[in-house]
Structure 1
Amino acid sequence: MFPQLEIAMGLAALIVLAVFHWKLKWRNRSNIGKLPPGSMGLPFIGETIQFFIPSKSRDMPPFMKKRVTKYGTLFKTSLAGRPVVVSTDPEFNKFVLLQEGKSVETWYLDSFSKLVGHDTPDLEVKTNATGYIHKHLRHLILNHMGSESLKGELLRQIQAMTETTLHAWSAQEFVDVKHDCALMIFKFTSKLLLGYDAEKSGKNITEDFHILMDGLMSLPINIPGTAFHKSLKSQEKLLNMIRGKIAERMTAPAEASKGDFLDHIIGDMKTQSFLSTEFITYIVMGLLLAGFEAIPTTVVMALILLSENPKVLQELIKENQEALHNRRISGAEGITWEEYKSMPYTLHVVNESLRLASNIPGVMRRAIKDIEWNGYVIPKSWTIVISQVGLHLNPEVYEDPVAFNPSRWEQMDRASVVGRYYIPFGGGGRPCAGAEFTRAFCAVFLQVFVTKYRWTKVKGGEIIRTPFLKIGGGFDIKVSKIQE
């Protein structure tokens, strides 16, 4: 019995030492300065378990609300083994977002880094690049998905895809909006960016995107059965699909050029030394992943909220029917940029849906040197999380913040809110290049839907907040075409 007793005592001693070391490690030290208030939780685990606890409330997740109430707009914690400072302070957020390449760099938690390729040294350097590389990539994306493209054929292409999709939905007994909308977005963006025809491929690759999304905020434990392990398998399938398309283009004759994003970025490899096939692979996957999650989440949130608010739905129908009537009088063949921009209530609905969706944990940066702020010090190498949900559901800014009220955008001082308390697309020197594309896609989808179809809820639609916003049980609807 004595050997077992000695082993047990030894383990107990190691645990006590680990806890003691943990406390010493995160205690305010004179050579660092005063850390923001908060708790680092348990040794090694930190507060990761509390962070992942789901909530069925549409309000701020309990993890955030409890700590903002107790510690204020800036607090420390530990997530997935890393020290983190979480902020809902608009002034600190503005400072951080403008310090790219000076005091902070783009950063992700370990699982996210591995799955999007950020942990690969060469790719990490390029992803964190400011100045020329970032400007070049942003210009390239905007050239194919920005306002100028939308003013051309892109809006009508979105309209055509929406009409085809909704017609197919109306022939089905019911549809899972999030799942089927994600499929629609993937078909559209994969063809737009790299000429990938999802229907002709015969592969259900959208399921791999769903699996990849499930693993982005999981613990980075790579053993069979874990969400992270499954995500790595799906990641490799997606990367191989993209690598295959890149290989095809690089060996294709010049006259076969499609003039799309992939052709453009491959062509730039001749003059831009920072571009490599692996870098392009991850850039394309990142673009596909962003659209695959952001747009379907916003659309399904809008439809759930519209279903619950018939007065808002009627106002939306009225504005879009008037726009459709004016288009028919003018003889325009499809929705135009001017029409899209002349529907303020529709854009308010999209803005309000984006505000309430807040479907990512936050905008992440890493301190590359000690940062002093209001008497606190954020140490070098700490992760900084700018919480979107903490800003978007702030009751001091938004009256009754969980209410779906598109009209609030008519009365709000947008100049004092947008960029401070409303950052669905990030901000600072790295705002999302796909912001206008996302808004336009949602607005066009809603116009076609409310003017030509009606829907009834079949089941689901429960909004659950975790690090990501999820729809419990999906959101199944029956779609019916309006008889003209």
Structure 2
Amino acid sequence: MWVLMAIIFGMSIITCLHALIKSKYNAKLPKGSMGFPILGETNHFFAPNPSFDVSPFIKDRVLKYGPIFKTSLVGKPLIISTDPDLNYLIFEQEETLFECWYPETFKKIFGDQFFGSLHGFMHKYLKNMIVNAFGIECLKSMVSEVEAAATTRLRRWASCKVVELKDEIANVILDLTANKLISYDPENSPENLRENFVAFIQGLVSFPLDIPGTAYHKCLRGRKRVMRMLENMLEERQQNPRKQNEEHEGILKNRKDKASGITWNEYKSMTFTFKFLNETLRLANIAPGIFRRALRDVEFKGITIPAGWGVMVCPPAIHLDPKHYVDPLAFNPWRWERCEGASRHFIAFGRGLRFCIGADFAKLQMAVFLHNLVTKYRFKAIGGGNIVRTPGVQFPDGFHVEIVEKEKKPSKY
């Protein structure tokens, strides 16, 4: 009886607070729905979407309420922006009008002191440390290392009948990045960093239900394993310190030593490849949302973003906007001959103070991999390739391909 009364009392308070928030700012808040108390519209936000297109959750509300709307996710009031001008303001006015912010579920996963939640001096200090590892001068010296990783994996894949490309490419990227950051050696490590890391990443943007079988539960378990691995590796370091298709063919033709690796100048000359990568990033929309929080009441186009409210910038809605990108769901690298790589309409790596530090490193890995793939191998899709967004990108049945050296004939499937 007392438990029931406590539940009713608690729900009454929550409902009153819910109504109070609505009435306090209702005149200037953007249109939208706060959904149910506590739950809000969380279930609709996490509903699977088997398409490259903007999720129905976002698309339906933009049609109904406009490019900026309010909602409630996981018990928190939130404003979602698909407006390029507001997004620009959010990114450019960080530490003035807005600050980096993540939902409580992120904090439970990363902890209160993870890099993304730091501000001011500590953020700048750690950012500079990472820039020293992935800055332009360091990348110039890493070209041969990145190419060696690509050629080794491609040679290995060519010896297999079929390769699950999604997992294999993730292995290449994670192994190389972890090696640069923490000297991780996948061949001699007793535990598989990637398996734990994948579980960790897939649960970041998932329904925060911590019961066995859910992505969120796997994420928390993956985090514990990754942290244990990192602690063991750091302890080992202390005990045993140690030194730590035309475009590509044209590069080969102009190279004096055909067997030599890619040079930095050759990499920078891959102008069409960069257009190809931009188009891939535009369609992939790896980050379904970028979070910030208003430091004070912000007035914008007749609406108010209340101080303390979270704001989610929605990259997919920007990248798939038919007003800016003709036939937005079509893969068309040539569109980048007219589009700018850095603009209000392309935020694959974020913008402002927290522009992705690893953007150039990611581009280097992708460009070098593509160069070696198209100049030395043929490939064809065998199966899979279907995607589901929940809202992060998933390949439930993988993406299976056959890769064959150019002088050899592909098998028949």
- 1:424 paired with 2:412, answer no
Which 5+ residue runs of structure 1 have no aligned equivalent? Answer: 259-316
Q: 1:22, 1:43 within 8 Å by CA — same for their partners in 2?
A: no
Per-residue deviation at 1:85?
0.5
Change in CA separation of 1:182 and 1:146 when aligned onto 2, cut-off 3 Å:
same
Structure 1 runs of 4+ with >4 Å offset: 10-20
Q: Does 1:192 align with 2:180?
A: yes
Q: How far 1:466 sits from its partner (Å)?
A: 2.8
Q: Does 1:243 align with 2:170?
A: no
Cross-structure match for 1:351: 278
Using the alignment, how far apart are the partners of 1:386 and 1:196 within structure 2? 34
User: 1:307-333 deviations in whole A, cap 9, x for unaligned?
Assistant: xxxxxxxxxx22211112212x26682
Structure-2 separation of matches of 1:16 and 1:251: 55
Aligned match for 2:314, one of 370, 387, 406: 387
1:36 to 30, 38, 51: 30
User: Shift of the alpha carbon at 1:437?
Assistant: 0.6
The offset of 1:64, in angstroms, is 1.0
Contact 1:111 1:215 in 2 (8 A): no
Show the 5 A alignment for 1:380-419. Answer: 380-412=307-339, 414=340, 418-419=342-343
Q: Is the 8 A contact 1:163 1:448 kept in 2?
A: yes
Structure 2 Cα separation of the partners of residues 136 and 246 of structure 1: 21
Q: Decide whether the 8 Å contact of 2:203 with 2:216 is kept in 1.
A: yes
Amino acid across the alignment from 2:34? M
SS at match of 1:75: strand
TM-score normalised to structure 2 length: 0.91
Residue aligning to 1:325: 253
Which SS does the other structure have where 1:420 is aligned?
coil
| 1:215 aligned partner | 203
Query: Does structure 1 retain, via aligned residues, the 8 Å contact 2:100–2:292?
Result: yes
- 1:138 aligned residue: 127
Please tell me whether the aligned partners of residues 115 and 126 of structure 2 are also in contact (alpha carbons under 8 angstroms): no
Paired letter, 1:24:
A
Partner of 1:369, secondary structure, is: coil
* Separation of aligned partners in 1, 2:385 and 2:156: 21
CA RMSD of aligned residues (A): 2.6
**More displaced 10-residue stretch of structure 1: 348-357 or 10-19:** 10-19
Cα distance, 1:13–1:201 mapped onto 2, change above 3 Å: closer
CA offset at residue 175 of structure 1? 1.3
Mapped partners of 1:208, 1:93: distance in 2:
33
Q: What secondary structure, in the 3-state scheme, does the structure 1 residue paired with 2:352 have? A: coil
User: Match of 1:323, as an amino acid?
Assistant: I
Contact 1:105 1:128 in 2 (8 A): no
1:470 aligns with 2:394: yes
Query: 349, 367, 373: which one pairs with 1:443?
Result: 367
Q: Which moved more, 1:460-469 or 1:351-360?
A: 460-469
Partner residue in 2 for 1:482 = 406
Aligned equivalent of 2:146: 158
* Aligned partner of 1:57 among 40, 51, 54: 51
Give the AA of the match of 1:156. S
SS in 1 for 2:404: strand
Q: Which amino acid aligns with 1:147?
A: I
Residue identity in the other structure for 1:411: R
Q: Distance in 2 between matches of 1:56 and 1:124?
A: 32
Structure-1 residue corresponding to 2:411: none
CA contact (8 A) 1:111 1:219 kept: no
Tell me which residue corresponds to 1:102: 96
Whether contact under 8 Å (2:54, 2:316) holds in the other structure is yes
1:111-146 deviations in Å (ceiling 9; x for gaps):
2222122xx2xx16983222x433332222222222
Query: Are positions 1:69 and 2:59 aligned together?
Result: no
Identity score, percent: 39
- Distance across 1 between alignment mates of 2:323 and 2:116: 39
Point out where structure 2 has 5 or more consecutive residues left out of the alignment. 409-413
In structure 1, the residue matched to 2:80 is 86
Higher share of residues assigned helix:
1
Amino acid at match of 2:373: F
Which residue number corresponds to residue 373 of structure 1?
300
Task: Provide the secondary structure at the position in 1 that maps to 2:397.
Answer: strand
Deviation at 1:33, TM superposition (A): 5.3
Q: Is the 8 A contact 1:111 1:218 kept in 2?
A: no
| TM-score where L is the length of structure 1 | 0.78
CA contact (8 A) 1:367 1:381 kept: yes
**One-letter amino acid of the structure 1 residue matched with residue 221 of structure 2:** K
